[in-house]
Amino acid sequence: MAKILITPRSLTQKGHPELEKLKKAGYEVIYSTPGVQPSEEELLKLLPDCVGMLAGVEKISEKVLESAKNLKAISRNGTGVDSIDLKAAERLKIKILRAEGANAQGVAELATGLMLAMIRAIPYHSDWLKNGEWKRKKGIEIIGRTLGIVGCGKVGRIITKGVLGMGMKVIAYDVFIDKSFSPSNDFKYASLDEVIKTSDVISLHCPMPEDGKPLITKEVISKMKKGAYLINTARSGLINNDDVLEALISGQIAGYATDVYNEEPPVLNDLFRHENVILTPHIGGFTEESIENATRIAVENLLKELK
């Protein structure tokens, strides 16, 4: 019986009814360690016997792909494929499938929540009160302020519609401009440079640059409004951590919130320990609805490709 490996932590821990479709189609479903992102060593043990893989965000290296002689397709339960060696997959004729837009609503809501949490210092006030301290940190209101969206795909468009209704203005940069998206006179597309220079809050929703270098560096940060806020629910590599920390210390950036890391769980460095940083453990798509959508699409993609 042909095998399919399941690795997303949300699925290895509790399973999912959609996976029954794989079994009904005649495949043996196997799982990596429940609730844990699989290591390269574990993938090297499990993947060689498989024809398909329903993958999470774990790194899938050239070495792993070369070991999987029978592998025909990897189906992601999300849109990001940065963790997969795409050149090796193409060379080995392994199809990479993505669950387009499956978790867009969840990511958009998290990014919006992180913005509100930062500008009103919600986590800090909660921690202070729990420690018996009556301390207050003055926040700002978002009405009339500008949100800069870097990457105005499905996630960016959901955020845009929401914050426009709260009185914000939105300026967006995208490589591929969707001219049909024009939700308000308070929304416009612009160059990346203009987005960086004019935004009070900047939220990243884009893939890594082709050269693999960070998008947010000391040079880019110097162009931001002093006291701007930065949100990253896209890719950890978009940020130069040392440069962001320096900007937080100087006050050039007032706050930073992230849901993505180079490794999971992350090593708690000086940036992540900074009082004006909010961390969430990669929960952008970790909602009932997002998991449901992503699993359904990932299974459908896999069955279609293997058929």
| HEC readout, the chain | CCEEEECCHHHHHHCCHHHHHHHHCCCEEEECCCCCCCCHHHHHHHHHHEEEEEECCCCECHHHHHHCCCCCEEEECCCCCCCECHHHHHHCCCEEECCCCCCHHHHHHHHHHHHHHHHCCHHHHHHHHHCCCCCCCCCCCCCCCEEEEECCCHHHHHHHHHHHCCCCEEEEECCCCCCCCCCCCCEEECCHHHHHHHCCEEEECCCCCCCCCCCECHHHHCCCCCCEEEEECCCHHHECHHHHHHHHHHCCEEEEEECCCCCCCCCCCHHHHCCCEEECCCCCCCCHHHHHHHHHHHHHHHHHHHC
User: Which residue of the set 9, 76, 98, 282 is catalytic?
Assistant: 282
User: Which residue of the set 40, 194, 264, 305 is catalytic?
Assistant: 264
- Give the Cα separation of 157 and 150 in Å (integer): 11
Active site residue 264: yes
Active site residue 292: no
Active site residue 273: no
Q: Catalytic amino acids?
A: 235, 264, 282
